[in-house]
Amino acid sequence: MYFGKPRAHTDSERVPPNQHVTKKFPVLHAGSVPEYPDLNRWNLQVYGLVDQPLLLSFSDLMNYPQTTLGNDIHCVTGWTRLDNEWSGIKTKIIAEAAGVNERARFVMLHAEEGWTANVAIEDFLQDMSLLAHSHDGQALTPEHGYPLRAVFPHLYFWKSAKWLRGIQFTEHNHPGFWEKNGYHMNGNPWEEERFSWD
């Protein structure tokens, strides 16, 4: 037997149960990849239980303080991609700008083609949660959500809506697209909240 090989240093404590690490960046979504020939016609709507609904252009967003954060992506289908770098605006900055009402307990993320994902307000406001326009130093590619996607590092990646167009603050928890199809309302990878019956 050969004992000389040092034990591999792993990132296993960063990998949630039943996930495997990949270096690839798979593309996963329902529907088609939207095209934006003119970014001036893109906007982001912030509405629902807020004092000041917002209609933000891309340059409005870029005028908010910018943050770059590292995180790990955990897809519910089983892959984990470590050490992603995202740049964008912290979600809590947008929530503050809109003056979120204290009755708001949930957030519905609205993407192109009516795709939605729901998150609890604590998850939305978490310090690491971002509205990201860049990944690993480059503008998002069309497949990965150009021009703007949500990033919730502590939840399964399906909650991280690509092609984000609306943020709606609500009192009650409504299921989004995958949640209506059996995915979990919360989606915490450390608790393996994959499906509604988990």
Ligand X SMILES: Nc1nc2c(c(=O)[nH]1)N[C@H]1C(S)=C(S)[C@@H](COP(=O)(O)O)O[C@H]1N2
* Footprint of ligand X (CB under 6 A): 25-30, 75, 111, 115, 144-145, 157-158, 160-163
Q: Of 156, 162, 163, 150, whose CA–CA distance to 185 is shortest?
A: 156
Which of residues 124 and 157 has its CB atom nearest to ligand X in the complex? Answer: 157
Which of residues 133 and 162 has its CB atom nearest to ligand X in the complex? Answer: 162
162 binds, among Mo ion, ligand X, none (CB under 5 to 8 A by kind): ligand X
Closest CB to Mo ion: residue number: 158
75 lies in the binding site for Mo ion (CB under 5 A): yes
Which of residues 52 and 77 has its CB atom nearest to ligand X in the complex? Answer: 77
Whole-angstrom distance, CA of residue 46 vs CA of residue 95: 8
Which of residues 75 and 128 has its CB atom nearest to Mo ion in the complex? Answer: 75
34: CB partners within 8 A, 6+ apart: 112, 113, 142, 163
Q: Of 149, 182, 163, whose CA–CA distance to 73 is shortest?
A: 149
115 lies in the binding site for Mo ion (CB under 5 A): no
22 lies in the binding site for Mo ion (CB under 5 A): no
Whole-angstrom distance, CA of residue 179 vs CA of residue 174: 9
